[in-house]
Chain A
């Protein structure tokens, strides 16, 4: 059965309507406001004035709803990033992101996909999140937070997959093959205590920026692992994390060689034994979903 498209006049009306919705809300007045002065006059003429309001005010209801809905979804998807920036600054960046990456498809939860990469490109330096008193948010902190939020999203939304368990045949060809990181796993690096901060801010909603904690003396690493419905953040040694990242990009043999070649002679001493331990642990933790020979 072939279904007809809608008449051309409706498609044109819908495109004009959609363009109106996507006009960013004005920020000049210190709050987010509809922009009726920018509405398409052709669209306005299509709309009847209401009992209490002109056509433009009626369209404005939809423009506000559009943006508040999408911004709310962005806040929920990037809670730590939102709180570090504060709603006002986060909304500005999210609005730019949504303008560059308009929502497509039926999945509202997919709208924030890619925001962490967008932030990395859109923020070349620190972000001023408060002016009185002046508070700057370090770019690295911001991007760490965005990556952590994105990791939680990705892991929680990942499909259920079987954990990879090597068999005897795999053991023989292990060095030449590649392990596939489970979609329900994210490897993380934390430079400022973002893991604990994210947990705290989820219980303390608010719109003003929270101060980022001072940078940690040394970065720490971990794996966010979803097993069934259980989510765990497992601490990893720095070398172990590096190896797991290399395994995600190379064959096992190449990953081990790359790790070894970046270490001094003294560091190489017990590396094979440690690498074997890390590999075994990664399998026990269910970090892999497959192996390609």
Chain B
């Protein structure tokens, strides 16, 4: 039985706090010096929530400096939405405080699991795509969004395997969860491409199935091709041409939407990342 979609779960708060054509960057420590020297034109910054949940004062002070100049959105990797137990209350409490502190237009995490049996694997791990888990994920995402009191989005993860149990296509699973939860989607086009190549589906089919009225933002990043041909979502390269083409197509057919570049390893100078953002602008035509 399908649940009634909860589209207005957070009444009065719409994900329009960022301009539709905003271009943002994932905030990383190697950026700090250049950032605070020049305060370049960037539409917004996205932080990894967990990097700012601890007691250490340095990250919070740097974040305050960023927040003074730019909108800041939160992107988590530790919610463990589909772990055995519901999201941890203490974790959510800290996340709420952080979101309040930076007045985040929205908060996102991933449609995946990250730990079980009291252990955290610190990876974004896939689940079988089955209706039963649509229900669980939607229920939990709805709960998180209500707890946060602001728009909450789930990101589609890149994956390197599929489960025999799956009865739904990934895009069907993702769109159903978002619809039933009344939450939002962080659409990672690089992840769509990586998974499409690893599993042999059409990325265009995936992207055409998305309800873009629920998309908070789009992520772009680079991947690595391993020796056996598997694409790995490493965030350590410029955006691949194939991903740019998908972005171009998606913007043309479904834009506008805020767009953010992620770069997590071998982080280049800030200027290089700004150059990638300019490519995004140029690709929009």
Residues of A within 8 A of B (CB): 1, 3-7, 10-11, 13-15, 17-18, 21-22, 45-48, 50-53, 55, 57-59, 61-62, 65-66, 69-70, 102-109, 111, 156-160, 228-229
Contact = CB atoms under 8 A, between A and B. Distances in A.
Contact of A61 (B139, B200, B230): B230
A52 to B, nearest CB: 5
A103 B87 CA distance: 17
Contacts of A51: 198-200
Interface of B: 50, 53-58, 61, 77-78, 80, 82-88, 91, 113, 115-123, 125, 127-128, 132-133, 136, 139-140, 143, 160-165, 198-200, 226, 228-230, 232
What are the 4 A-B residue pairs with the smallest beta carbon separation, nearest first? A106-B78, A159-B55, A3-B86, A58-B161
Contacts of B125: 14, 17, 62
Contacts of A11: 84, 116
Contacts of B200: 50-51
Contacts of B164: 45-48
Given A21-B123, A50-B199, A51-B200, A157 B116 contact: no
A107 B119 contact: no
Kindly name the residue among A4, A50, A229 whose own CB sees the greatest number of chain B CB atoms within 10 A.
A50
Contacts, number: 142
24 contacts: A3-B143, A6-B82, A6-B83, A10-B128, A17-B116, A18-B116, A47-B163, A50-B230, A51-B198, A51-B200, A55-B161, A61-B160, A62-B123, A62-B125, A62-B161, A65-B123, A103-B121, A104-B115, A106-B88, A108-B50, A109-B54, A156-B58, A157-B54, A157-B56
B225 to A, nearest CB: 11
B57 A21 contact: no
Nearest to A3: B86
A241 B115 CA distance: 43
A132 to B, nearest CB: 29
The listed residue with most B CB atoms (<10 A of its CB), out of A6, A21, A103, A106, is A106
Contacts of A15: 116-117
Nearest to A111: B122
Contacts of A45: 164
A109 B54 CA distance: 9
Contact of A21 (B80, B91, B121): B121
A10 B199 contact: no
B117 A18 contact: yes
Contact of B123 (A10, A57, A69): A69
A228 B57 CA distance: 8
B262 to A, nearest CB: 16
Contacts of A48: 161-164
Given A3-B139, A158-B55, A61 B232 contact: yes
Given A14-B116, A106-B80, 4 more contacts: A10-B127, A18-B119, A62-B160, A70-B122
Given A7-B132, A55-B161, A14 B122 contact: no
B105 to A, nearest CB: 22
A11 B132 CA distance: 13
Contacts of B115: 18, 103-104
A52 B226 CA distance: 12
B19 to A, nearest CB: 31
Given A3-B143, A4-B136, A4-B139, A160 B57 contact: yes
A107 B228 contact: no
A111 B121 CA distance: 11
A11 B116 CA distance: 7
A107 B82 CA distance: 18
Contacts of B230: 50, 52-53, 58, 61
B123 to A, nearest CB: 6
Contact of A5 (B85, B117, B122): B85
Given A3-B86, A5-B86, A106 B120 contact: yes
Contacts of A106: 50, 53, 77-78, 80, 88, 91, 120
B122 A108 contact: yes
A3 to B, nearest CB: 4
Contact of A158 (B56, B83, B113, B143): B56
Nearest to B82: A6
Nearest to B232: A61
B133 A6 contact: yes
A238 B32 CA distance: 38
Nearest to A103: B120
A172 to B, nearest CB: 33
A107 B58 contact: no
A61 B125 CA distance: 11
Contacts of B228: 52-53, 57
B61 A229 contact: yes
Contact of B162 (A18, A47, A52, A228): A47
A10, A22, A157, A228: most-surrounded residue (chain B CB, <10 A): A10
A15 B139 CA distance: 22
A59 B199 CA distance: 14
Contact of B140 (A3, A55, A111, A160): A3
B179 to A, nearest CB: 19
